[in-house]
Structure 1
Amino acid sequence: MRSVIAVLKLCVFLIYCAIVIPVQALTLLFFQEKGQIPPHIFLKCVCPLFGIRYKIKGTPCLKGRTLFVGNHLSYLDIPLIGAALPISFIAKKEVAGWPLFGLLAKLQRTAFVERSRQGTIEGQDTVEHRLELLKHLVLFPEGTSSTGEAVLPFKSSYFAPVLNKDITVQTFTISLLRTDRAAPLNRDLYAWYGDMDLAPHLWQFAKSRGVDICITFAAPRTAKDYTDRKKLAQDCYEECVKGLISAENPPN
């Protein structure tokens, strides 16, 4: 029965895609300033379809240019955050070539960057341009995804585009609370990391009853107060760790 439901979910998802792709393409062609609206509505539909249930702690800062930085568990973080906020993302360059998901990312005006061997990110002008145009971007500065049990160190090079600029930086934490509406917590149901294949993972997730997640937003900080990107990265990392601890150990 779960397999039948999964097939139906994926079929509905493809129908949603068939609707949003031309709508977003026309929106970007004629109404660029409204370009965040179709993807936001699309992802707000995708989350309940796949059972991605979330609650928000704290207040996201949507005034002025804001770079949201947080931990990364899965490709499913995209619909999660995209449903919570009308926002675009910073992603690895190879994501642009993914079937279907790459097209959706482009239509969402994702800033694609490449990390060099020296540890710096190429495409900083793209990030700055996107922030100027869209005002709000999401960055996953761990540089990879994980199980979400802990926060990986933030790579300071990812903060270079905003360093010493009049841009707000706000940390968020994604915390898994429950999977498949049951205990114990099965992190691998949601988290996609290491050498996991995408298609089998998505199939298993579609067969499940979804996940319950907490998104915790810390107090915003101003990038122009920092001249050292390592200090900015470390402060954001520590805020992310605090968010994970507070979500998984709520006060009685």
Structure 2
Amino acid sequence: MTFTWNGHGEEPPPSVAPGLGGWLRVIRRGGALVMVLVTGVVLMLLVRGVERPLFGLGRPWTPYITQWVCRSAFVILGMRHDTRGQPMQAHGAVVANHSSWLDIFALNARKRIYFVSKSEVAGWPGIGTLARITGTVFINRTPKEAKSQRDMFEARLQAGHKLLFFPEGTSTDGMRVLPFKSTLFQAFFSPNIVHDLHIQPVTVIYRAPRAEDPRFYGWWGDMEFGGHLLKTLAAKRQGGVTVVYHPPVRVEAFADRKALAAHVEEVVRSAMPEDRRAPA
């Protein structure tokens, strides 16, 4: 897997083949995780079959299945999941920093959200299927599709969906927050929705297992998903993740998308540990 951020020459933590104990943990945790995911997918398809004709874009029930799956994943991994602050109840969207595929579980575990993702994710084996089932919005970052994507955002937001996207545009090692790209923020300034829209900044902070590289959960550069998943499943001791929900802000309180992007970036960065706050 290749991302646009490569750590500016930093080498990822070295890959170490699991020993016997590690492979036993991979089998135990991996088997339980697959069972939970398959159960969640089956339940999602069954419930969505009823939801769709009754509510259209509305999803009053299936997000609870997603939350159950994501909370169960942390129990299976033995990884601590903490939260600070309150998920917003107001109408709007969510933005967060991006460090790992684990963000999907960390952010879904407590808050009912729908991810905004680049279109190629839809074709990824396994992950693409799960993303489609859970209502992910897929986008192409091309100017010619800007209007259709804005219309899609408006429809989803007006249906009560809280869209979540990563303004950094890539995942990192978890030790920094990259500058936020302001392009997608423009959709929130549409006259049809701007007066009723809020944005909630969220900071995701990973803590590596004891004695491990502090970038243990980061997933970036040319790191393969399979290798990173194997390392995570095999860990003898797990670390944790803290999700910080900041107070939401009104979109119309900002002059334009760049001002809004700069503000939420500053808020997200402010909750990181002190050694991770420096602008990247």
TM-score by length of 1: 0.89
Higher relative contact order (CA 8 A, sep 6+): 2
- 1:28 to 2:48 alignment: yes
- Residue 120 of structure 1 and its aligned partner are, at CA, apart by 6.3
- Residue 125 of structure 1 and its aligned partner are, at CA, apart by 2.4
Identify the residue that residue 234 of structure 1 maps to in structure 2. Answer: 262
> How many correspondences in the alignment?
245
Identify the residue that residue 16 of structure 2 maps to in structure 1. Answer: none
- Residue 238 of structure 1 and its aligned partner are, at CA, apart by 0.5
- 1:193 to 2:213 alignment: no
Q: Pick from 211, 233, 249: which aligns with 1:206?
A: 233
Q: Which runs of 5+ in 1 are unaligned?
A: none
- Residue 147 of structure 1 and its aligned partner are, at CA, apart by 1.1
Contact 1:116–1:122, Cα closer than 8 Å, also in 2: no
- Tell which deviates more after alignment, 143-152 or 204-213: 204-213
Contact 2:174–2:217, Cα closer than 8 Å, also in 1: no
Q: Pick from 13, 34, 39: which aligns with 1:19?
A: 39
% identity of equivalent residues = 27
Identify the residue that residue 167 of structure 1 maps to in structure 2. Answer: 197
Structure 2 vs 1, CA of residues 41 and 71 (structure 1 numbering), >3 Å: closer, same or farther? same
**Cα distance between partner residues in 2 of 1:118 and 1:227:** 25
Contact 1:115–1:122, Cα closer than 8 Å, also in 2: no
Contact 2:119–2:140, Cα closer than 8 Å, also in 1: yes
- 1:76 to 2:96 alignment: no
- Residue 12 of structure 1 and its aligned partner are, at CA, apart by 1.4
Contact 2:106–2:243, Cα closer than 8 Å, also in 1: no
- Tell which deviates more after alignment, 215-224 or 139-148: 215-224
- Tell which deviates more after alignment, 224-233 or 74-83: 224-233
Q: Greater strand percent: which structure?
A: 1
Instruction: Let me know the Cα RMSD of the aligned residues.
Output: 2.3
- 1:42 to 2:100 alignment: no
Identify the residue that residue 5 of structure 1 maps to in structure 2. Answer: 25
**Cα distance between partner residues in 2 of 1:97 and 1:175:** 28
- Residue 77 of structure 1 and its aligned partner are, at CA, apart by 0.3
- Tell which deviates more after alignment, 111-120 or 51-60: 111-120
- Residue 183 of structure 1 and its aligned partner are, at CA, apart by 3.4
Secondary structure in 1 matching 2:94 = strand
Secondary structure in 1 matching 2:159 = helix
Contact 1:40–1:87, Cα closer than 8 Å, also in 2: no
Structure 2 vs 1, CA of residues 232 and 201 (structure 1 numbering), >3 Å: closer, same or farther? same
Mark the structure with the bigger radius of gyration: 2
Contact 1:119–1:157, Cα closer than 8 Å, also in 2: no
**Cα distance between partner residues in 2 of 1:18 and 1:60:** 28
Deviation string 1:195-235 (CA, Å, 9 cap, x unpaired) is 11110111011111322122122221011223410000000
Letter in 2 for 1:206: L
Letter in 2 for 1:154: F
Secondary structure in 2 matching 1:191 = coil
Structure 2 vs 1, CA of residues 64 and 151 (structure 1 numbering), >3 Å: closer, same or farther? same
Secondary structure in 2 matching 1:214 = strand
**Cα distance between partner residues in 1 of 2:275 and 2:244:** 7
- 1:86 to 2:116 alignment: no
